[in-house]
Amino acid sequence: MTDALRELVRVMDRLRSPGGCPWDAEQTHGSLVPYALEETYELVEAIETGDRAGLREELGDVLLQVVFHARIAAEDPDDPFDVDDVAADLVAKLVRRHPHVFGPDAADRGRRGTDLHVQWDQLKNAEKARESALDGVPLALGALARAQKVADRAARAGLAQQPAPSGDDLGDRLLALVLEARSTGVDAEGALRRSAAAWEKALRANEGTTGST
């Protein structure tokens, strides 16, 4: 761990300990959920707007969420773990799921990217003993993002031949647009977010002129 990361852990320990910050001390995994979501969206915004300084700051805020949750987890009387345990698990997972890089079979290094996605899914499903290739797609994802994630999983598992619902229902038409976006390599969630942002910008620009003569 670098000196800066060690200092971050020490600062978090101080904030959470007696005599530290009362607000930090009373937080739980559950109470921090809104902040984790907010910081993630702010990071996405910094990336999509090309805000380099913002990117650096928001990455720090996301890192804070990891360190904060790990500090709370270290206090659990029955199943404690800390940020070192989190990092160790992550290292093991990355090595385990990249046999084409860390494994003994050099031939795997020649696999194409699409094959590597399939390999990743297979390894992940085996680790988690999942019964379906579609298991594990978070229900909390927005409907648009979740539909695209399901479509990605289905395609890699060879399930894409199952036709999606079609009809005049708005949901069916939205799903068809998501599948169309995926077939052309477009991130539907990102595309809608960018279009909505452009529309919002136009609305704001027109806000002061509405009703003027």
Residue 129 is predicted with a pLDDT of 73
Residue 35 is predicted with a pLDDT of 95
Residue 99 is predicted with a pLDDT of 86
Residue 1 is predicted with a pLDDT of 63
SS (H, E, C) the chain: CCHHHHHHHHHHHHHHCCCCCHHHHHCCCCCCHHHHHHHHHHHHHHHHCCCHHHHHHHHHHHHHHHHHHHHHHHCCCCCCCCHHHHHHHHHHHHHHCCHHHHCCCHHHHHCCHHHHHHHHHHHHHHHCCCCCCCCCCCCCCCHHHHHHHHHHHHHHCCCCCCCCCCCCCHHHHHHHHHHHHHHCCCCHHHHHHHHHHHHHHHHHHHHCCCCCC
Average pLDDT over the chain, rounded to an integer: 88
Confidence of residue 25 (pLDDT cuts 50, 70, 90): very high
Confidence of residue 210 (pLDDT cuts 50, 70, 90): low
Residue 64 is predicted with a pLDDT of 98
**Domains of the chain, earliest start first:** 3-84 (1.10.287.1080), 137-213 (no CATH)
pLDDT-above-90 percentage for the chain: 59
DSSP state letter for 190: H
- 88 C-beta neighbours (distance < 10 Å), count: 12
Confidence of residue 211 (pLDDT cuts 50, 70, 90): low
> Which of the pair, 154 or 129, is modelled with greater confidence?
154
* pLDDT tens profile 154-198: 888 888 777 788 888 999 999 999 999 998 999 999 899 999 999
pLDDT at 113 over 80: no
What value does the mean pLDDT take over residues 35-56?
94
pTM: 0.72
